[in-house]
Every structure is written in structure tokens, then in C-alpha cells.
Structure 1
């Protein structure tokens, strides 16, 4: 884990409200990915600031054990144009802990990293956490996916 300060940025994408209770997120999040990939959501997002795909976890009811919203989208330069059915999320500037999931995505590399995060004592903010699927995630069998966890300012 590396701690770093990040500037704020904007993302537009699609979302689902889910929870880790009863493994509901294991159903909802793959279904959101399927919709994102098969309906060409990334190509419909205007004012893109990059080709990376962000998986954002926000609007936590309390912590990772309670309901939260997952948004899949792309970074944008503005919210001037938001396609119907899409959401906007502004990632706040602040301190984040960066973890890196490595390995086969389809065999749970990212989820396994989250298991470590949930068991790591961190001063989590439970505001907005995110994963970045960039160039190093293009080979799903040997992917590298950074995961950023918002930290409380201490």
C-alpha cells in the first residue's frame, strides 16, 4: 500500500446500488460490467479525458458491509453533456491509499485484493473509492489494477 494525494476529477458512467451482504455485489457488479461492455457505454460518454475505465464505489450507507453505489465510467473534462441514463461522480481531492491487484481478473484478482483491503486497518473515509482499468489491465490474465481508498484527513 502506498499513500498519495490526488487532485479531484470527474467521471460519467452507469451505476447500480448494491451491497456485499449475501454476496449481492457478486451478482450486481458483474452484470453492470456486462452492460457497460456490451452496450458500448464508453463510446457514448462525451468530453472524455482518457480511455481508462473507472469502477467507483460511493454513497456508502455506512461502510463496506452496508449498501453502496457502484459506477462504471470514464474520466471527463466536464459534466456539460451527460447522456440519458448515465450518472456523474466527482472524485474529491484528498489522501488515498493505493493498493494494486495483479493477476487474472476473471479468477478474482481484484476481489482478492479487496479482501485484503477490508482486513487492513485503514482510517477509511467511506466517501469514494475506485479502481482504474488502464493499459495494464488490457490483458485480463496478467492485469494490474490500482485500487484507491479514500482516507480520512488526520
Structure 2
């Protein structure tokens, strides 16, 4: 794990799922399947890249914890002026220091195990506003956790 400073807000457009930690194992895999089978990435206009982001946001207890209902929006980065297509939604990854937890390249099967490490990192001053998984075309996968301002490496 290392800390980076995200200096600009990043807007992600994609498909949304409302879920909770209690339902996640049953609801998130079909949401990913929908993203793939419906070719959502190809239907997002004005993509800034082909990176895929899975953004956890709109927490019921935003700023406090990730308990209760939250949104998972799987999509791609777009400009702040890009219209959201019908049937899709958007999320914003605000300016923030972020803890970066790398997942071994191409190892989608290890994402859940790395999330376990994130949840066990009780010492991190998490914001509980917008966290994400970032999937790059070269196979790199990172989990990025928003931290309170003033957090440094």
C-alpha cells in the first residue's frame, strides 16, 4: 500500500447497483456480468480512456462508514460536461489523498482478498465518500481508498 494525491476530481459514468455489504457477494458478480454482457464500456460516450472503474459511493452513512446501502457504479472516466446516457448514472471521485492497494496484474480473482486488507487497515483515516477499483488495459488493478485531507505517505 502507498498513498498518492489525486489532484483533480474524476467523473465516472456507468451502470449503477444499489447494494450493501450483506448482499454484495450475491449482487456484485451479476452487476459485473451485466456490464460485460451489455457492452457498457462501448456505450459510454466521450470516454477519457478505456480504464474501467468500479466506484463505491453514495453511502448511506457517507463520511462515517460503509455500513448500510451504497452504490456501485461500474464505468469509465468522462469529462465533467459529458451528458449521462439514459439508463446510466455517474459518480465523482473527489480530490483527495488516496491509499493505493495493488492487486497482482490480471488477477481479478484476488480483488476480494485485497479488499479484506483494506477493511483491516483500521489506522487509515478513510473518508467513506468514494472508493474504487481501477482496471487498466495492461492488466494492472488497484483499489483506491479516499483519505481525509492532510494524510501523507
Q: TM-score, normalised by structure 2?
A: 0.88
Alpha-carbon distance in 2 for matches of 1:37, 1:18:
19
Alignment match, 1:94: 96
Match of 2:149 among 144, 150, 153: 153
* Aligned CA-pair RMSD: 1.4
Alignment coverage as a number of residue pairs: 144
1:91-131 CA-to-partner distances (Å, cap 9, x unmatched) read 111111111112632x3x00000001101121000000011
Matched, 1:80 2:82: yes
Q: How is 1:36-51 mapped onto 2 (pairs within 5 angstroms)?
A: 36-51=35-50
Match of 2:130 among 128, 131, 137: 128
Q: How is 1:134-145 mapped onto 2 (pairs within 5 angstroms)?
A: 134-137=136-139, 144-145=140-141
Match of 2:66 among 32, 54, 64: 64
Alpha-carbon distance in 2 for matches of 1:83, 1:152:
32
Unpaired segments of 5 or more residues in structure 1?
A: 138-143
